[in-house]
Structure 1
């Protein structure tokens, strides 16, 4: 274990933290008792106090238990966009002693069907705009109940902010006996039974993808989630007076932790956006005096490119950071010139419920994963021998820490591959190639796993390829990631057409067809027709050859 980074550790902070023995729900209950009248959520002009937030969480939890039969350990899907209802539902599911399964609202019916079946969810809380996607999944397995939320129910009477269409939409009618509307569930007035869970009980199953492209649920307990919640509060100096601009999707672990769980733990305010909008973000920073903003690099690039930015006062900001993709150095410098704040990058995975590494706020390095977080033992090992490597040597990053998940849901074979033992201790293999410098700062070099990081979303080429093969004109397909100024990486597909389709099907035809077959962040933005794909002696497509050629081509441009 390297300790080089401790000489650059944030001043006045301990190097170890004791994790609370309490649950994630307890954080809300405590904050509601401490600050009942304080604003917990600011949503396009509407304010929700901690007392109201906690009251609605308890009523919804009571409904889940009393009328839907949700009990300890049951999985409940949370399938909606950023909204007060997402936050309420998340904590209500935990208060019902159940397990939250947050699902990307961009997922299609087929993708959703897999998640629901894999985790065995009996109920789901969804946004009304997603009903058509999840309705076909009802009664095909264990999923029997839907609670449907309308985002506009939590808007003020009038608002000065430009609203996304999905937020402004009125409540719609749904003729389905297994559906209950959000307001009807709250109107029942149920109260939950006793709390039955403890710190080591299961709390959240966020899904990631495996090397085969098959999604895997990451088993997180209240303790593993709490480790990064408490650590983040201390590291980023989040006090009850903080105001957090929450723009990352809450279904994603970084948004979940930094945009929701951290401010609720401290009793501070969440300023919530359903959809990213740079003008509204700037206006909200000025109006609500936001102090903390965790984001992805693409948001910062867009925010700084706003020609109207100088109209807004954003000097209340004290912390800006994020992950998902490195922030270009020029952008980081522009941000510093504008705000006096150095961008703080971090590194983590769904398996670690956000960060295992963060840059010290007073001494960050750009395009750097940071230093190992509280109580994290991070090492770099040789890909073949698993021998531990030293400074500057590239190998696979392995981590051990209190935020590391307990394993993949119903994936014993994957679990055996995911962990290794070093010095008698269990380490998680991240699948990322990296190194650390003489000062103990870690840098991501490449990926062992074949994964594309498109604007912070993970895209697995094998999954996209399997869908492309469904197109009647596709003979062969190979998908890679290519550099993209806006998204960091984007998806490119090399296609060999069937003979009869040559000259009649265009690249744009494939792109347009793909849009309707997979989530919006997955479909290939670039398609190139080729006569053949490079093959190994055993007949495997050599995707790395295409990747290397593409990177060379990009450098020559």
Structure 2
């Protein structure tokens, strides 16, 4: 284990983090007892106090147990945008001793189907604007659809430009197994005893891979608790912090830094349903936000706004994130405007957010950071598993309290994900990098075939599997394309079946893809070829297509 980074360790921060031996819900119980009248959430100027949050969590948990038959260890799907209902549902699932399965709300029915079948979930939280995506799956296992209208939590008049899908009035949706959020709260149910402990499953975010189908990362209350605390303590965050939460809560970075961490501390979350640079800037000014997590593309968008100088952003004392390296010019402009550095970090769904963060007082640009408390991270030879020296390039592997147990229902993938070194179980990240003389980690490439589009991880095999459902496609290879704004984007090289030449255009394929998969993974570029390049064994040589992008 390299110790070079110890010289740059955050001042006053212990090297070891003692993790509470409790269910994650207990954090909300404590904060609501300590700060009952304090706003836990500010949603487009409407506050929700800690006491109100806990009360509603318990009412929803009681409904899950009594009306939906949710039992300890059951998986429950949470398919929503950032909203008070997301937070309430998340903690209600935990209070019912069940397991949260966060689902990207950009996913459509075809993608959602896998989550239902793989988890065996019978209950889903869904917003009214996505109800049509979930409804067809009632015949495939879903029995309870708990439907929310985001506008239920817009009770304070505001002059903010609330997105239309958030402001939309509650609709009277009916159907077998359907109950509206308002009706669920009105039942006034209360849950039974809290029995799930630190080693029980807590959350199961899904990640995709080379197999094409998303895999559930099994995280216990212990592993989720670790990173809920570690990220906050790394930056010395206190209970009176006001955090802008705009990264998606279904994703582990937003989940931990924008929800679980602040709730542990009892601080206030300024919550936006989705990114809007002027809205974010106004909320920072209006609510005196002092901490924000933004991926680099958001920072670029914010600083490119012609109105950025009109806003008072001086209260922001920490701006952190990851997803993609921050360009040098943007980092410099941010420092000139705010007087602070952008603090980059590194993590995965398999580690429920960070394993590395840059020291706040000694960050390096375009750098993953240093291993945080109790994390052993190394760069190894991917073939021999030998630990490499400073500056040598190899695969990054990590061992720590936040690493998942394994993949749900997938023993083979779980075996492949881990190796043993010096008697420790290390997760193979699939990312290629190096360590410098100070112990900071840098990524140089990816072992796995993955596309990073505006911070979203896109796995080509999953996109290809979906595209093969198009009747005109004989073969398809998905690679990374160049995009001026997103950095990388999704490109599909397609071979058409006989009889479809001249009848189907590249744009037709783009449009079909957009209608059948989440927008972030849908190919924005389609190129027709007569054939795909293949090796002597018949494998598609995707690198040669990417090299020519």
TM-score range, shorter chain: over 0.9
Aligned counterpart, 2:125:
125
Residue 549 of structure 1 deviates from its aligned partner by 2.6
Describe the superposition over 1:85-132 as per-residue Cα deviations: whole angstroms up to 9, x where unpaired: 000110011011111000001111111111111011121111111111
Counterparts of 2:62 and 2:502, CA distance in 1: 61
Task: Say yes or no: does 1:62 pair with 2:44.
Answer: no
Deviates most, 158-167 or 493-502: 493-502
Deviation at 1:31, TM superposition (A): 0.5
Question: Could you tell me which residue of structure 1 aligns to residue 302 of structure 2?
Answer: 303
- 2:491 corresponds to: 492
Q: Would you say the 8 A contact 2:468–2:475 is kept in 1?
A: yes
**Equivalent residue for 2:414?**
415
Task: Provide the residue aligned with 2:93 in structure 1.
Answer: 93
Is the Cα contact below 8 Å between 2:208 and 2:462 reproduced in 1?
no
Q: Per-residue displacement from partner, 1:425-483 (whole Å, max 9, x unpaired)? A: 11111111111111111011111111111112121111212222333332321110123
3-state SS, counterpart of residue 389 of structure 1 = coil
Counterpart-to-counterpart distance in 2, 1:131 and 1:426: 41
Q: Measure, in 2, the Cα distance between the counterparts of 1:328 and 1:484.
A: 15
CA distance in 1, matches of 2:448, 2:173: 42
Residues in 2 aligned to 1:392 and 1:52: alpha-carbon distance in whole angstroms: 52
Give unpaired runs (5+ residues) of structure 1. 551-557
Aligned position for 1:461: 460
- Three-state SS of the structure 1 residue aligned to 2:516 is coil
Verify the 8 A CA contact 2:210 2:460 in the aligned structure 1: no
TM-score, normalised by the number of residues in structure 1: 0.97
Structure 2 matches for 1:205-284, cutoff 5 A?
205-284=204-283
Q: Contact (CA 8 Å) 2:45, 2:156: kept in 1 or not?
A: no
Greater shift, 429-438 or 155-164, is seen at 155-164
2 CA distance for matches of 1:244 and 1:534?
49
CA distance in structure 2 between the aligned counterparts of 1:504 and 1:78, rounded to whole angstroms: 40
CA contact (8 A) 1:297 1:324 kept: yes
Residue 448 in structure 1 maps to residue 444 in structure 2: no
Residue 555 of structure 1 is matched in structure 2 by none
Q: CA RMSD of the aligned region, Å?
A: 1.1
Structure 1 runs, 4 residues or longer, greater than 3 Å off? none
Aligned equivalents of 1:445, 1:427: Cα separation in 2: 20
Q: Which residue of 1 aligns with 2:46?
A: 46
Mapped pair 1:108 → 2:92: no
| CA apart distance, 1:157 | 4.3
TM-superposition CA deviations, 1:298-336 (whole Å, max 9, x none): 111110011011111110001001011111111111111
2:372 paired residue number:
373
- Paired with 2:176 and 2:535, the residues of 1 have a C-alpha distance of 55
Q: What SS does structure 1 have at the residue aligned with 2:294?
A: strand
Distance in 1 (alpha carbons) for counterparts of 2:70 and 2:529:
52
CA contact (8 A) 2:212 2:465 kept: no
| Structure 2 match to 1:285 | 284
For residue 145 of structure 1, what is the aligned residue in structure 2?
Answer: 144
**What residue is the counterpart of 1:351 in the other structure?**
350
Residue of structure 2 equivalent to 1:553: none
Query: Which position in structure 2 is the counterpart of 1:476?
Result: 475
For residues 113 and 476 of structure 2, what CA distance do their matches in structure 1 show?
25
Q: Distance in 2 between matches of 1:504 and 1:115?
A: 34
TM-aligned CA deviation for residue 501 of structure 1:
2.8
Output one character per residue of 1:10-43: Cα deviation in whole Å (capped at 9) or x when no partner: 1111111111111210111100111111111001
CA distance in 2, matches of 1:70, 1:467: 31
Distance, in Å, in 2 between the alignment partners of 1:398 and 1:513 is: 38
CA offsets 1:494-531 (integer angstroms, 9 cap, x no match): 12233433334322121112111211111111112223
Separation in structure 1 between the aligned mates of residue 453 and residue 484 of structure 2, nearest angstrom: 11
2:396 maps to 1:397: yes
Which has the larger displacement, 490-499 or 415-424? 490-499
Q: Distance in 2 between matches of 1:247 and 1:485?
A: 23
With the length of structure 2 as denominator, give the TM-score of the two structures.
0.98
> Alpha-carbon deviations, 1:222-256, whole Å to 9, x = none?
10001111111111121011000001010000010
SS in 2 for 1:501: coil
Distance in 2, matches of 1:115 and 1:177, equals: 20
The corresponding residue for 2:312 is 313
Partner of 1:11: 11
Instruction: Give the secondary-structure state (helix, strand or coil) at the position aligned to 1:500.
Output: coil
Cα distance in 2, alignment partners of residues 328 and 218 from structure 1: 31
Q: Structure 2: how far apart are the matches of 1:481 and 1:328?
A: 19
CA distance in structure 2 between the partners assigned to 1:469 and 1:117 by the alignment: 20
Do 1:511 and 1:525's aligned partners in 2 also have CA atoms closer than 8 Å?
A: yes
C-alpha distance in 2, partners of 1:114/1:136?
Answer: 13
Task: Report the CA distance between 1:210 and its aligned residue.
Answer: 2.1
The answer to whether the 8 A contact 1:44-1:156 is kept is: no
SS in 2 for 1:254: helix
What is aligned with 2:532? 533
Alignment partner, residue 192 of structure 1: 191
What is the rounded CA distance, in whole Å, between the counterparts of 2:132 and 2:209 in structure 1?
28
| 1:514-553 correspondence to structure 2 within 5 Å | 514-550=513-549
